[in-house]
Structure 1
Amino acid sequence: MRTYLIIVAISAIIIVGFVTSVSAGDPTVTVTGYEVKPSVLMPGEKGVVEVTLKNTATTSTETRIVQYSDGPRTITADKNPTIQSLFLQPNGITVLGGNNQFLGDIGPGQEIQLSFYIEAPTKPGIYFPEVWAGVKDAKNLRFPVPVNVDTQLEFSKRGYLTVKGEIPESIHPGDSVSGSLIITNEGQSRADEVKVDLGTIEEVIAPRGTGSFYAGSLDPGMSRSFDIELITERRELTGIKSMPVSLSYYTIEGEKTESDDFLDVMLKGEGEIGISSVETNPVRVINDENFDLIIRIENTGTGEARSLTAKLIMQDGQEFQAFVGRIKPGNDAPAVFLFNGMESGTYPADLDITFTDDWGEKKVNEKISFTVSKSSDEWVHVVLIGIIIGGGYLFYRNRKKKEQS
């Protein structure tokens, strides 16, 4: 029996505890090397693309402050990038195998070797398949690997364009933000007639106005920046969203080259908390009787409200607290306060609400009031007293008349 009580007590402490995460920054992955075998493929020949991925952090920990009934405790644990998807985007070649060959965590400083089996196209040229790695809650990886198909042209001597976006680190769903789209020629020859198309993510993010830009010619090492404005849909959206960017240009040999890239946008939903209703149980509260005060709290925002606590502060200084927990966007939940009977009257009070969302800890203050009515017995007593007083007065008056007559 004693063991059972201890287990129950420990479970209660864990349930009421809440966690605040403090991270030194989310690690991600990068490419530290690649090799194509054979280095020059003949049209239709099969080969291998070998790529090395590495965790960008040599050490990576997450510190959590856990609040228990006996005080806060600090817990430190490893936090590693988690690869959720991994594949080679063909961009002109044929990928025969190797997609999603590794899914999971990469430890601090750890490297993994990947091998993709490919088949060269029938047309000679330089092709740029890209390694795409989707990393949970971090920046996704996009890395092009040059594949030479029966040509003497060295990759390093060609024009090669990259895309970089300068936008706010995090965006509220529903907001419009301004930024820049930067196109850079990382190759060693000029790229001509450079065209850029910024795409949309349906019902999520889109450029305001035109998403097409003309950069003209870019010499090696040269960049060109374009002002962009992004509009986002106001709804429940959280996480990294990748906007497609299409590039087309002509190499110095006059060959048209097309490639795809992405502009990563981090969306963070925000909880917007308010009161939807104030009720009592029973509906009509009588003085000196126990009752429940039920305050329904709603979330009209775009992100989840977590660890929500409501504190009711009466005008006489009394405080009552209710733990609500989690409220998703478009939902509400009750905060219930128990009262052991009160005198009749109207009671105004403050309701302080605290919660966390993707942006951190929030506080909201609302004003509420509720009424306690007089019992029906009190009215009966008042009426009886009135009748007695009235009857006595009539008796006295009639007796007075008889004496005078």
Structure 2
Amino acid sequence: MSKEMSAMPNSMSVSEHTSGSVLQRLGRFAQSVMDHDAVNFWAGKLNPLWSLNQPMARIVAREEAASNSVTLILKPNRHVVLPQAGQHLNVAAEVEGVRIARSYSSSAVLDQPGLLAITVKQVKGGRLSNWLCLQAREGDVLYLGQPFGDFQWPVSPQPVLLLAAGSGITPMISLLRQYAQHAVMGMPLPSKQAVQLHYWVRSRAEACFVEELQALTSIQPNFTFHLYLTQQDLSPAQASQPYAQYGRIQASHFAQQEDLNNSHVLACGSAGFVSTAQQILHTQVASFQAEAFSLPSTHADSANTDPASNQTVEITLQKQQRILTVPSGQSILEALEAQGISHPSGCRMGLCNTCACHKVSGSTKHMISGEQQHEETAALRVCISQARSDLVLDI
């Protein structure tokens, strides 16, 4: 075994050197007679991960994470910037001839450096999540974006309170794997840091990473794990588990949090969950940082209360030389997609800026803050913006 392991770096370096040499020659050829897209196409015929500039990754393994979730292990090519724990990546795939992108939290694969893992929850009507969960197989290639997000472990040694609902567990497991790695390596700070994870799911079958989280309590005595089932009564076997409880988030769940007033909170879940957590804790903790994977309902449902949202406006797409009539109550991104316009997107929450475009003129409303913007802007995030007048976009 040791001989095979020692031989592996040499074989990999030869392969990398060979592919790098080929790509350099292709690059010089591309600059002289062809565009990058054409060279990427032919390079991909030789090796699916070969590209002059496109970050990509090949699926090398898949594991069932829960009843409705799958974990994909990815081998990235040389253009991928490896994310930090807690960050997101835009992940895209060709589905029925259309490239669809969404953002997912990624994590390291601790025993296999250089690989990435994403855990995908199957969403009803979600074209990419359904393809990734049901159809994606080993050998398939995914297109990746640059990492983004500042959902990171606090630098100070204060107690940490992690709150996750549903697929909000994915950035938490990324952070906790980093935390566990520090513990295994014997680094002093994490071993003295009190950490609690509270994790809410509808049923036990939908809970991801439970065995891994239980194991972490063994190697890290200052880590505690609480699992809550919100739509399933506890069975006798589940009730006997010290980590399993029943019910939605409430103040009593944090009664045993060590030094709550000095704790740093990281919360991830639906907008409603994050809002409730903040209402319960924001006056009791030192700091509160959150990420939501849905828009706040008060803004998403503003069409019911804002008369302007029931009107239609015209959006002029300069580059495409098209004029569209769209409802002002929709996000501009959704309005474009409803008209058959395939515009780049990722997180659909205003975080990754993939959808940002130049607004030449017109008024827009920010769907989260409610603020209206009337000036020209170089980076309008159309996923969280609504038209409030006729617009001209550089699309």
- In which range does the TM-score fall when normalised by the shorter chain? under 0.3
Structure whose CA Rg is larger = 1
| Structure with more of its chain in strand, by fraction | 1
| Structure with more of its chain in helix, by fraction | 2
| Bigger RCO of structures 1 and 2 (CA < 8 A, at least 6 apart) | 2
TM-score (norm 2): 0.25
TM-score (norm 1): 0.25
